[in-house]
Amino acid sequence: MGNSHHHAIGIDIGGTGIKGAVVDLRTGKLVTERIKIFTPDGGEPDDILEATAELLDKIAEADDAPKLDKLPLGVCFPAIVKDGRTLSAANVSKKWIGLPAERLFEQRLDRDIRFVNDADAAGVAELRNGAAKGVDGLVILTTLGTGIGSAMLHNGVLVPNSELGHLEIDGHDAESRAAYSAMEREELSWDQWAERLQKYYSTLEFLFSPDLFVVGGGVSKHPEKFLPKLHLSVPIIAAVHRNNAGIIGAAGLAAG
């Protein structure tokens, strides 16, 4: 297992699943199996707190897990996170809005944690050991899934809680038309979905003049299906860590 000083735990809470693992901070690789459980129906605070504690127990049971109580723990969550409070709620119960979530997790897990937005965690993972590593200027990472999460990284520094999925474009919340869930819900072809993505990324390009777009989320497993259909003046590439990015970034932020 090596030196546990280089390890941390990352837990990624989403609308459908909660997943976690121990991460090697030097490489950004998972050093235990990724454990996943379903997010409790309704995403109520008490239920998610219990499920997260259950997941941590399952990681501890893994044969190759180091002693977890000695490791930093990062938890990422689908919400705007400011001063440890959840100020929004995406695909979980609206009861999270305004809660001191970091403190609630610390009390239930009986340990200190680092609590962050899920897309911001993914952005940090790509910054430290992924597609954004060593890139000067502005990198915008977007996660295309149930919604659109975003992370803005400027000269290696995270600008947190950007929420670029909620830009209004043509009278619509951008993620309602351009998220991967919209493609599935409306049974769009890759070409039809790419037209919506083109509009979305062209708008981001005009507003922010980034130097690189990085695309994460589950659909980043199939970049050849849609990225070549987009025509922008800056590069747009798939995230290296794909759906593990939240775990890796949360662990990295917990360790400092």
CA distance 131 to 127: 7
pLDDT of residue 199: 98
Residue type, 234: V
CA distance 97 to 241: 29
For 5, which DSSP code?
G
In terms of Cα–Cα distance, which of 144, 224, 222 is closest to 179?
Answer: 144
121, 250 Cβ separation under 8 angstroms: yes
Alpha helices in the chain (DSSP H): 45-61, 101-109, 118-129, 174-178, 180-185, 190-208, 245-255
The tokens describing 243, both together, are 């759906």
pLDDT of residue 3: 54
Q: What's the topology of domain 4-118? A: Nucleotidyltransferase; domain 5 (3.30.420)
CATH class for the region spanning 131-239 = alpha beta
- pLDDT tens, residue order, the chain (256 aa): 445 679 999 999 998 899 999 999 999 999 999 999 999 999 999 999 999 999 999 999 876 666 788 899 999 999 999 999 999 998 899 999 999 999 999 999 999 999 999 999 999 999 999 999 999 999 999 999 888 999 999 999 999 999 999 999 999 999 999 999 999 999 999 999 999 999 999 999 999 999 999 999 888 889 999 999 999 999 999 999 988 999 999 999 999 8
**Under the phi-then-psi rule, with left for phi > 0, alpha for psi from -120 to 50, and beta for the rest, what region is 42?**
left
Specify the 3-state DSSP secondary structure of 163.
Answer: coil
122, 246 Cβ separation under 8 angstroms: yes
Q: Where in the chain is the domain with CATH 3.30.420.40?
A: 4-118, 131-239
pLDDT of residue 220: 87
pLDDT of residue 1: 44
